[in-house]
A and B are shown apart, each in its own frame.
Chain A
Amino acid sequence: MIHKEYKTELTGVRYLSAATYEASFTRPKNFSFLPGQRIRFSAKTIQRDYTIVSGPQDDRITLCIHHIKDGKFSGIFASTTPGTQFMFTGPHGYFRYFPSDDQAVFIATGTGIAPFVSFVHDHVRGFILLHGITGPSEQYYKEQLISAASLYIPCFSSRLPDRQNTSAGFHGRVTRYLEKNLPSGKYHFYLCGSAGMIADSLPIIDERFPESKVFIESYA
């Protein structure tokens, strides 16, 4: 299947933390997507997929991008003047939210929070969210997520300086929280983020929550 190509225009960039920014684009009129899906940009031989943060009804498309130092692509939007045009294809991917009687548990690392923010824009509520980050400065979209979640747990993987140690959250990796803190039960797990987090989470889910369902989007 050949995906349709769309023209879009960068409308703005704002930094969410020192190394992560949100890029906003105009939304092509005939482009539709489901929350959790990605769009793909190409430059020469490089292709990069980014999960859409905004909702399916929003006028703009927003992306949450980790700016990798010396990366080949991730800084491209941050260093471009608003008004610049780009082409993308999509929507790509099958990571979607399915309402269920079982409690939904969203697990993200870093910018893997993107699909869950899009879910919230699409009125998903009452979920448990574990967000694996190094420190409080990476709690992207915190207010939005807190208001929609039944439980929002930032999981700080780095030892924080004493002045930040009072931050509300769990001090340890998301996998540690799964192992020690999440009560036994049957859940719908949605995992999005680093391949390492996903590979480490699955054995814990298989062992502690064997009746649960798991949906995965890996940022390898």
Chain B
Amino acid sequence: MKVYTKTGDRGKTSLFSGERVLKCHDRVETYGEIDELNSFIGMLLTFLPKEEKQIVSEIQNIQRVLFQIGSWLAVTPDSGYAAQLSPLDPAFIENLEQSIDQMDQALPELHSFILPGGGQAAATAHVARTICRRAERHLIRLVQNEKPLGKKTEERMAITQIYLNRLSDYFFILARYCNMLMDIADIEYLPQKKPADTA
């Protein structure tokens, strides 16, 4: 099957629920960000040590959940199509929390902000964290703009929002954890001295 269908050449696309919308529609922007996040996660996976099988499997599960979120976002709320999709299981949030706690226990306590970076895996995890935050902000805007929503949709969007919020925390901890695995120390943030002071 050819990758190019030419159906989007005029700047419009079809949602799963059938509506024709501009590609700059808030809904398309939001699931586009989820796709961007998922792609960065794919890159992150290539930088992880191969022996970290549990983290790799955990991250691949996150990629699957993000696909599910993408499907939800490609459907107009309360449409017939929405009823066909399985709701996001709140257990996914609990899984993230457990992983965060597990990694956090192994890490030295943090007393200040850290500079995003370190090894390739950690730096990519920080990028994933920021894209995740952006997707979360966009989701909130989308939900606000489309209110009032049905009760079920409100609940589903709330779970998605919580999941994205927790996921960005997960990537923050994962970044630190990856640096720790590679014996790279986090660099704490210290206010930049005035140029005159450094002369």
Interface residues, chain A, CB within 8 Å of chain B?
1, 49, 94, 96, 98-100, 188, 195, 198-199, 202-203, 205-206, 210, 212-216, 218, 220
> Given that A98-B81, A205-B20, A213-B18 are contacting pairs, would A218 and B12 also be in contact in the complex, using a CB cutoff of 8 Å?
no
Q: Are A218 and B5 in contact (CB under 8 A)?
A: yes
A220, B5: Cβ atoms closer than 8 Å: yes
**In the assembled complex, B10 has its CB within 8 A of some CB on chain A:** yes
Give A98 to B12 CA distance when docked, in angstroms.
22
Taking a contact as CB atoms under 8 Å apart, the answer to whether A195 and B80 are in contact is no
Q: Given the known A-B contacts A98-B81, A206-B12, A214-B14, are A199 and B5 also in contact in the complex, defined by CB atoms under 8 Å?
A: yes
- B9 close to chain A: CB less than 8 A: yes
The interface size of chain B toward A, counting residues with CB under 8 Å, comes to 18
**Listed A/B pairs (25) with beta-carbon separation below 8 Å:** A49-B1, A94-B16, A98-B18, A98-B80, A98-B81, A100-B80, A199-B5, A199-B7, A199-B9, A202-B10, A202-B20, A205-B20, A206-B10, A206-B20, A210-B20, A212-B20, A213-B17, A213-B19, A214-B18, A214-B20, A215-B14, A216-B7, A218-B7, A220-B1, A220-B5
Nearest CB in chain B: distance from A142 CB, A: 27
Query: Would you list which residues of chain B between 34 and 64 have a CB under 8 Å from chain A?
Result: 64
Considering only residues 1-27 of chain B, those with a C-beta below 8 Å from chain A are 1-2, 5-7, 9-10, 12, 14, 16-20
Contacting pair A202 B7 (CB below 8 A): yes
Please give, as numbers and ranges, the residues of chain A lying within 8 Å of B2 by CB-CB distance.
195, 220
Pick from A98, A99, A216: contact of B14, CB under 8 Å: A216
- Let me know if A188 and B20 touch, CB within 8 A: no
